[in-house]
Structure 1
Amino acid sequence: MKKFYLVLLVLGMFVGFLSSCDDDDNDTPELPVVTIESEDGSFSMLPTESIVLKAKVSSSQVTDWVWFVNGEKVGTDSVYTFKAEKLGDYNVAILASNTNGEAYASTMIEVHGTYKYGTFVISEGSRSPGTIVFISPKGEVIDNAYYVENGGELGGATQDLFIKDNKMYIVSQNGGYDGGFLTILNAETLKRERKFQEELDGEVSMPTHVVALGEDDIYLRDNNGVKRFQPSTGKVTLIEGTERARKNTMVVADGKVFATVGTSVVVIEAGKDEIANTIEFEDRVSGVIKASDGNILVSDGSGNITKVDVKTYTKLGSSKVSDEAKSVLSASFAAAPSITAKGDTLYMSGLSSKIYRHVFGSDRTELMVDAKDMVDNVGIIYNTCAVHPITGEVYLNSIKGYSDYKTNNITVFDFSSDEPKVSANYENYTAFPAGTFFTYNFE
């Protein structure tokens, strides 16, 4: 009997121990867990804007909040409205605490210039300076943005732009005015940093396109070919073998320049004054663009679109458009590529009002719209269509006629549903538009 009671005593002590453990578990301090949320989902803003930030916590016991911006205490509520006038990246953090301890979270907010994100449409002008139209992500338009920011005019017959390392390079065929043959701007503010007129006078002949691999490694395409320009010394060197370089956009991929010469694409490596490689195609090349995977897509007059590895120059595959759309891939006087792409979906219009869609590798081409059926005063398509790399909307520039060029459209088409829609139409902003450029393509 004594042994029986001893067993009961031991069991009772064991159960009491377990119960004590449970009590201890229940008394475990509830530490807060905190995250930072933006009221509108954005963590990027202009200096004129603000972002409402909210602390999301898992614990109902939180009693104190402390907000910090770049380490400086700025608030003690669960909600904080961030404002900043100076451009840059800001570290915003919150410290949440209760009687049991503290939790910390942080996020980065970008305060950027007006022009860092959006769409530019460049115009040549008619015996006048070129212009830049800027369309913000919200659809707000700034007409003649260069003049707005600098109080002067760009060089005559503005043709092309390229963005690298927060610098915008703009090339004009005739130069002059407040700009030059080459004008370098801050890409966020469009404030002019440098211009090259006298330095390039006699060295270039009506330059039309520009890319940059570095501040002292700039490549210009002109009537004589592709030339390397080194601002530090003023040296301009013609790349031998590019004498027939087509008046069309050059592409930078894998830190190299890819330019169109007849039926080939030539490769120029950084800091070099010579062709590093030549890639041959079936017909005259009508466009070179950077693919979403970092390689390049090349179109030619035979109706082929070919993907090329930018490291080995191997052709990774080819896709052929329909016979109906083949003509829009022919090389023409358009200064922009005959193809434009968002992922593997390509669009093409050539100098036609008809826009076609083609998915790479499917060999299926669809006519999406004839702009003349949906938009007034579409007389002449000036340069080729361009697809927005984020929204997938397709931009098409048109003028009523050569003598009526002041009547014009920047039309934005939405092809996301069964029927095409005009999501925006900006009237009478251009003067012989040379191309549409999306800042996102230069990131």
Structure 2
Amino acid sequence: MKKFYLALLFLGIFVGFLSSCSDDDECTPLPAPPIINITSGNLSMHIGDSIILKASVASPTETTFSWILDTTEVSTDSIYVFKSEYSGLFDVKLTATNSDGTVATTTSITVQPGEYKNGTFVLSENNSLLTFISPEGKVTTDAYTDENGTKLGSVNQDIFIKNHKMYIVSQNGGGDGFLVIANAETLKKIKGFQTELNGKVNWPTHVAVLGDDDIYLRDNNGVKRFQPSTGTVTLIEGTSGARKNTMAVADGKVFASVKNTVVVIEAGKDIISSTINFDGEVSGVIKASDGNLWVSDRSGKITKVDAKTYQKIGMNDIPTEVASVWNTTYAAAPGITAKGDTLYISGLTSKIYRHIFSTKETKLMVDAKTMVDNVGIVYNTCAVHPLTGEVYLNSIKGYGQNYKINNISVFNFSGDEPELSANYENYTAFPAGTFFTYNFE
């Protein structure tokens, strides 16, 4: 395979040389083409592995080298060690220059996805559990501890993924901190923030991220901007009373619910940029698949909002029976979940309702208690898988030691009757929410 690759390398340079000359021109000889010798690894690798690329030129003339990864020069040595902490296809360009001229060649390296790049996470408040369900249905009870040998903080509440990093926030801190940043594909801890946030946050529950130095934490005082580079934590004026609920990120901005409003926070700013008003207390704000927003409020409405202009581009009334679940829930997860224009609502009940926005049809899809044993208490709200359309519902048998009897139930509503696609028993400990990696792409 290496011989075949090198042959292609020579062929590419030779064809380029021929095309640069006409029969009548005098061609200046180019320097001998650089050869990339792969002395360790191959053209496909796993995260954390490395490939040693060695350049050589069949010319006695002194030659300089430049290795470019994407648009950044990463080495001027004749040897470059390629390593990546995340997956993807990477182009490494080698340029060789001497007194005869300059030639260049590019090789591509595939880094295979990490074990946790794609799948479903269920975060639990107790025991610092981060449960992972692979696309094939394999369950890892506590993936974070398995990878790090340490525990997340106490009373975990929320997850956000940005730029190949996973951000996990815990209400009480301890363990690896109030906020933990981990590699989103391997779950290896990058940094935990305990002392840096101690005294600066008051029971933080939710996190949204716009950049490495633009981390927004919702706590009992409001929404705060955390800048790890300086350790600065700034309360954003006007966010007092921010609901203990998920913040959405769309169009490069944070959208957080504060009573009857959704406030907009732009990157790099410590102020509210705009406020969107609703008729009732906002029970959920989530990013729609088209990049806009879905907002539910306790007046019994679901509204589509343009994430750029903040205009309301559609509004549906929900039947009183369904809207009432928003008035009885104080879940940390949104009151709505959506795939396309199909939304699901459960609140803290075992009943899952479907609302199709385009047709304004609302229907009871299932009462989980009729299909799953030990559904005593629904813990946080349902969540729809953005690819499969299956709906996940977390439940426990009860409080006390009964929380150890629990279910992650997966329902399929594509047919005439609801189906229980899967039921994972006894993996959680007061689950705070279900998080699909695909929602952060």
**1:343-362 mapped onto 2 (5 Å cutoff):** 343-362=340-359
The reply to whether residue 157 of structure 1 matches residue 158 of structure 2 is no
Match of 2:140 in 1: 142
**2:288 counterpart of 1:291:** yes
Matched, 1:124 2:125: yes
State the match for 1:28 in structure 2.
Answer: none
Alpha-carbon distance, 1:310 to partner:
1.1
**Which residue among 306, 310, 326 is the counterpart of 2:307?**
310
TM-score by length of 2: 0.77
Q: Which residue of 2 aligns with 1:88?
A: 87
Q: Using the TM superposition, give the Cα deviation of residue 90 of structure 1 relative to its aligned residue in structure 2, in angstroms.
A: 4.5
Residue 115 of structure 2 corresponds to residue 114 of structure 1: yes
* Structure-2 residue corresponding to 1:376: 373
Q: 1:312 to 1:90 in 2, by over 3 A?
A: closer
SS of 2:324's equivalent? helix
Deviations 1:223-256 (A, max 9, x none): 1100001111111111111111000000111111
**What's the offset of the Cα at 1:131?**
1.1
1:204-219 correspondence to structure 2 within 5 Å: 204-219=201-216
Q: Tell me, what secondary structure is at the counterpart of 1:275? A: coil
SS of 2:273 mapped into structure 1: strand
Do the aligned partners of residues 70 and 364 (structure 1) sit closer, same or farther apart at CA in structure 2, a change above 3 Å counting?
A: farther
For residues 404 and 272 of structure 2, the distance between their equivalents in structure 1, rounded to whole angstroms, comes to: 42
Cross-structure match for 2:68: none
Residue 323 of structure 1: how far off its partner (Å): 2.4
Q: Tell me whether 1:420 sits opposite 2:418 in the alignment.
A: yes
SS in 2 for 1:211: strand
Deviation at 1:325, TM superposition (A): 1.0
One-letter code aligned to 1:174: N
Q: Which of the residues 173, 176, 179 maps onto 2:174?
A: 176
- With normalisation by structure 1, the TM-score equals 0.77
Residue identity opposite 2:88 in structure 1 = D
Instruction: Please state how far the C-alpha of 1:204 moved relative to its aligned partner.
Output: 0.4
Pick closer, same or farther for the CA change 1:70–1:199 going to 2, 3 Å: farther
Query: Partners in 2 of 1:311 and 1:83 — Cα distance?
Result: 40
- Counterparts of 1:378 and 1:82, CA distance in 2: 50
Residue 364 (structure 1) aligns with:
361
Indicate conservation of the 8 Å contact 2:45/2:110, yes or no. Answer: no
Say whether residues 1:342 and 2:343 are aligned partners. Answer: no
Q: Give the Cα separation in 1 of the matches to 2:419 and 2:218.
A: 37
Whether the 8 Å contact between 1:302 and 1:330 is mirrored in structure 2 is no
Change (3 A) 1:68 1:251: farther
Q: Alpha-carbon deviations, 1:241-279, whole Å to 9, x = none?
A: 111100000011111100000000000111111111100
The answer as to 2:257 corresponding to 1:260 is yes
Going from structure 1 to structure 2, the CA distance change for 1:91 and 1:280 (only over 3 Å counts) comes to closer
Identify the residue that residue 234 of structure 2 maps to in structure 1.
237
In the comparison of the two structures, how many residue pairs are matched?
A: 357
Does the 8 Å contact 2:221/2:241 carry over to 1? yes
Identity of aligned residues (%): 65
1:390 aligns with one of 370, 382, 387: 387
Deviates more, 1:361-370 or 1:281-290: 361-370
What amino acid does structure 1 have at the position aligned with 2:269?
K
Segments of structure 1 that go 5 or more residues without pairing to the other structure are 1-64, 75-80, 93-105
Point out the structure with max Rg over C-alpha. Answer: 1
> Residue by residue, what CA displacement relative to the aligned partner does 1:293-337 show, whole Å, maximum 9, x if unpaired?
101010011221001111111100101222221112337310000
CA distance in 1, matches of 2:273, 2:44: 49
CA contact (8 A) 1:338 1:348 kept: yes
Q: Which runs of 5+ in 2 are unaligned?
A: 10-35, 50-85, 92-106
1:201 to 198, 203, 208: 198
CA distance in 2, matches of 1:191, 1:416: 37
What letter matches 1:115 in structure 2?
A: Y
Q: Structure 2 residue aligned with 1:246, among 239, 243, 248?
A: 243
Contact 2:43 2:108 in 1 (8 A): no
Q: Aligned partners of 1:405, 1:215: CA distance in 2, in Å?
A: 36
Q: 1:423 to 1:237 in 2, by over 3 A?
A: same
Shift of the alpha carbon at 1:364? 1.2
User: Aligned-pair RMSD on alpha carbons?
Assistant: 2.3
Aligned-partner Cα distance in 2 for 1:67–1:423: 45
